């Protein structure tokens, strides 16, 4: 397709604050805090500052899975970070994650407290801390880590590439949508072929690799990302569908999806999580009628 108004890059790029589409108000080419704001600290050693995007869901799923297996030390407080309002640029958050992206974790069980940022790093840190969901076998462990880092390297094409141009860009442009749709479908095919040979991504065991990949590609296959299921023909990836539904049925995964969620079905929204009872008592369908009354 030829476009007579094709963009010609200038010799030196400058920041146009009016560009950026849906996220123009928070996108910027510089790092650091924009305002002073301390982060709250709850009663548990693990303090999570996050939002129920795919990257946030990875971590809350792991925490709920750890608790389901009896790791009481994995109890956590989850604080809602509203990225649309720029909470990630508060001084307290930047001190935990200088990259100003969710999720960010503080582990107060260590002295001094340990900060961990980047979702893959948090998954690996927690799996090693509690010695679970990460194989110890010399062959299985690198396979798991390979797929974990496959997700970390692949998801920007899905989220920042396909998702941005298909769902969030101010206009629809054929070239970037085609470019990133092709790459997203290639990645789905990689995953589908792997899952044709194995129950879980890295083999027989359910691991942090599954949690990381499911949060992005599993939810995409289930029609939860970008309203793009039909466009990408996700039903055709039969092995991904089988795997995505199997993981989605796990109670810990269902709880993990709820934490720090602030959109969609009110019964699936738990803005903050401080206790296991919050899933029964503090979802938005329970709180909103009280607020209205």
Q: What is the pLDDT of residue 107?
A: 98
Q: What is the pLDDT of residue 3?
A: 55
Is the pLDDT at 190 greater than 80? The verdict is yes
The CA R_g of the chain, rounded to the nearest whole Å, is: 20
- Collapsing DSSP to helix, strand or coil, 267 comes out as helix
Q: What is the pLDDT of residue 111?
A: 97
Mean pLDDT score of the chain:
94
Q: Once rounded to an integer, what is the mean pLDDT over residues 153-178?
A: 96
Q: Once rounded to an integer, what is the mean pLDDT over residues 85-92?
A: 96
Q: Once rounded to an integer, what is the mean pLDDT over residues 154-171?
A: 95
Pairing of strands 46-50, 104-107: antiparallel
- Count the residues in the chain: 293
- Least reliable range by pLDDT among 2-11, 144-153, 170-179, 273-282: 2-11
Q: Residue 78 is inside which H or E element, if any?
A: strand 76-80
Q: What is the pLDDT of residue 7?
A: 83
DSSP per residue over 20-48, as a string? SGGGTTT--S--S-SB--PPP--SSSEEE
Residues 183, 181: Cα–Cα separation, whole Å: 5
Q: In the chain, pLDDT over 70 holds for what percent of residues? A: 94
More confident position, 261 or 16: 261
Residues 152, 277: Cα–Cα separation, whole Å: 32
Q: Once rounded to an integer, what is the mean pLDDT over residues 250-268?
A: 97
- Least reliable range by pLDDT among 10-24, 121-135, 160-174, 256-270: 10-24
Is the pLDDT at 4 greater than 80? The verdict is no
Q: Once rounded to an integer, what is the mean pLDDT over residues 31-55?
A: 97
Is the pLDDT at 215 greater than 80? The verdict is yes
Exposure string of 110-146, with b = 16+ CB inside 10 Å and e = fewer, is: eeeeeebbbbbebbbbbbebbebbbbeeeebeebbbe
CB 194 within 8 A of CB 106: no
Q: Residue 251 is inside which H or E element, if any?
A: helix 251-258
Is the pLDDT at 76 greater than 70? The verdict is yes
DSSP per residue over 167-222, as a string? IISSS--HHHHHHHHHHHHHHHHHHHHHHHH-SBTTBSS--HHHHHHIIIIIHHHT
Is the pLDDT at 288 greater than 50? The verdict is yes
CB 58 within 8 A of CB 90: no
Asked, as a colleague might, if the bond just before 186 is cis with ω within 30 of 0, I would say no
Q: What is the pLDDT of residue 26?
A: 77
Is residue 290 very low, low, confident or very high in pLDDT (cuts 50, 70, 90)? low
Is residue 1 very low, low, confident or very high in pLDDT (cuts 50, 70, 90)? very low
Distance, C-alpha 96 to centroid of its chain: 17
Q: How far is CA 122 from CA 46, 110, 129, 201, in A?
A: 11, 15, 10, 19
Is the pLDDT at 273 greater than 80? The verdict is yes
Q: Once rounded to an integer, what is the mean pLDDT over residues 228-236?
A: 98
Is the pLDDT at 289 greater than 80? The verdict is no
Q: Where are the alpha helices (DSSP H) in 74-139?
A: 91-96, 119-130
Q: Which residue has the tokens 């299985």?
A: 140
Residues 170, 164: Cα–Cα separation, whole Å: 9
């Amino acid at each position: 397709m030829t476009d007579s108004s094709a963009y010609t890059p200038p010799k030196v790029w400058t920041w146009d604050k009016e560009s950026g589409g849906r996220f123009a108000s928070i996108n910027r080419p510089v790092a650091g805090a924009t305002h002073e704001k301390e982060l709250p600290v709850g009663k548990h050693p693990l303090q999570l500052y996050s939002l129920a995007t795919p990257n946030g869901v990875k971590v809350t799923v792991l925490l709920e899975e750890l608790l389901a297996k009896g790791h009481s030390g994995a109890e956590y407080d989850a604080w809602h970070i509203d990225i649309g309002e720029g909470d990630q640029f508060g001084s307290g958050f930047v001190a935990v994650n200088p990259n100003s992206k969710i999720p960010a974790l503080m582990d107060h069980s260590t002295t001094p407290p340990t900060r961990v940022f980047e979702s893959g790093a948090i998954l690996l840190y927690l799996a090693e801390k509690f010695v679970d969901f990460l194989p110890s076998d010399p062959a299985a462990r690198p396979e798991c880590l390979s797929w974990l880092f496959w997700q970390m390297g692949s998801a920007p094409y899905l989220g920042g590439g396909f998702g941005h141009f298909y769902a969030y860009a101010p206009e629809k442009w054929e070239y970037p949508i085609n470019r990133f749709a092709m790459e997203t479908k290639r990645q789905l095919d990689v995953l589908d072929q792997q899952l044709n040979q194995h129950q879980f991504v890295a083999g027989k065991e359910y691991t942090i690799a599954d949690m990381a990949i499911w949060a992005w590609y599993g939810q995409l296959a289930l029609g939860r990302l970008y309203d793009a299921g039909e466009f990408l023909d996700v039903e055709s990836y039969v092995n991904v569908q089988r795997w995505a539904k199997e993981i989605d049925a796990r109670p810990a995964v269902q709880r993990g999806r709820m934490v720090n969620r602030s959109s969609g079905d009110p019964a699936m929204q738990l803005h903050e999580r401080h206790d296991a009872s919050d899933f029964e008592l503090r979802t938005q369908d329970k709180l909103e009628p009280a607020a209205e009354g």
